[in-house]
């Protein structure tokens, strides 16, 4: 959601990402940072804003995609704890969106955009068995709690950031440190140097909508040097359900 120099997203960047192969762009509390998005978002349904904005807000919080293996839904929801603006109840909003979408497909991915681990875990547990995956975003820091809940929903509390590694949440280090030390206002430019792509790879049984495997992704970006020794990846695999055995 912060593809525009660390502050929101623009129409041009949206189009560039979609042309590069991105299927859907989810966002969060920075969706309106670039004011042009207020008028642009209704022209591009693949750019989502949180589903729990009040009725009448521009854009949509969900989308149903057609793929060679069938339909897959994506829902974007924003948590409330320590978040601004405080939107409608995310549990009720995402529940309504999931109920509507399940009439079309069992394959549903939810982006839970929020500050606290507890609220995102609660959303994941709330949706267990109702969606294929709940992936948290917002903090810029990838968590190591990838798992598949008993009902078949894959979960990761935070997918992490796609951006510069030698930084503080993607921003240049010195200005951030000086702000903490001095309490004086400052600008925070985006850091340079090595970048990494972080996220999650999820395998779904499209017949049931249950997640089969979730793998945390942490790869060097195209402009950064390959690391000498990459951290081993851990696959979390769901045990077969009784009907699969």
pLDDT confidence tier of residue 244, bands split at 50, 70 and 90: very low
pLDDT confidence tier of residue 223, bands split at 50, 70 and 90: low
225, pLDDT greater than 50: no
Residue 224 or residue 97, greater confidence:
97
Report yes or no on 174 lying in a domain.
Answer: yes
Report yes or no on 45 lying in a domain.
Answer: no
Peptide bond into 85 cis (omega under 30): yes
Alpha-carbon gap, residue 229 to 179, rounded angstroms: 34
Report yes or no on 132 lying in a domain.
Answer: yes
State the average pLDDT over residues 23-37: 98
pLDDT confidence tier of residue 229, bands split at 50, 70 and 90: very low
241, pLDDT greater than 90: no
Report yes or no on 107 lying in a domain.
Answer: yes
Quote the pLDDT of residue 57: 98
Report yes or no on 223 lying in a domain.
Answer: yes
Range of the domain at 202: 61-244
Quote the pLDDT of residue 222: 72
Q: Is 106 exposed, middle or buried (0-12, 13-18, 19+ CB in 10 A)?
A: buried
Report yes or no on 6 lying in a domain.
Answer: no
Quote the pLDDT of residue 153: 99
* Active site annotation includes 138: no
Quote the pLDDT of residue 34: 98
245, pLDDT greater than 50: no
State the average pLDDT over residues 18-47: 98
Alpha-carbon gap, residue 128 to 134, rounded angstroms: 9
User: Is the Cβ–Cβ distance between 130 and 101 less than 8 Å?
Assistant: no
The string of pLDDT tens digits covering residues 167-222 is 999 999 999 999 999 999 999 999 999 999 999 999 999 999 999 999 999 999 87
Report yes or no on 50 lying in a domain.
Answer: no
The string of pLDDT tens digits covering residues 127-182 is 999 999 999 999 999 999 999 999 999 999 999 999 999 999 999 999 999 999 99
Report yes or no on 222 lying in a domain.
Answer: yes
Q: How many domains does the chain have?
A: 1
The string of pLDDT tens digits covering residues 69-124 is 999 999 999 999 999 999 999 999 999 999 999 999 999 999 999 999 999 999 99
């Amino acid at each position: 959601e912060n593809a525009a120099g660390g502050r929101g997203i623009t129409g041009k960047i949206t189009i560039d990402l979609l042309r590069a192969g991105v299927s859907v762009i989810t966002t969060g509390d920075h969706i309106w940072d670039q004011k042009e998005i207020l008028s642009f978002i209704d022209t591009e349904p693949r750019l989502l804003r949180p589903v729990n904005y009040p009725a009448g807000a521009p854009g949509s919080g969900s989308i149903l995609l057609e793929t060679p293996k069938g339909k897959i839904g994506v829902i974007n929801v924003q948590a409330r704890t320590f978040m601004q603006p405080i939107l409608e109840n995310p549990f009720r909003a995402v529940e309504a969106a999931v109920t509507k979408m399940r009439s079309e497909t069992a394959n549903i991915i939810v982006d839970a955009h929020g500050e606290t681990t507890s609220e995102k875990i609660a959303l994941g547990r709330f949706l267990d068995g109702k969606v294929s995956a709940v992936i948290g975003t917002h903090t810029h820091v990838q968590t190591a709690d990838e798992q598949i809940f008993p009902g078949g929903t894959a979960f990761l509390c935070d997918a992490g950031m796609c951006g510069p590694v030698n930084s503080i949440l993607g921003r240049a280090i010195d200005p951030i440190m000086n702000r903490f030390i001095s309490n004086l206002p400052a600008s925070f430019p985006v850091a340079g140097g090595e970048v990494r792509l972080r996220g999650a790879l999820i395998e779904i049984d499209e017949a049931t909508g249950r997640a089969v495997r979730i793998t945390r992704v942490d790869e060097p970006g195209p402009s950064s040097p390959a690391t000498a020794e990459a951290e081993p990846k851990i696959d979390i695999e769901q045990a077969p359900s009784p009907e699969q055995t």
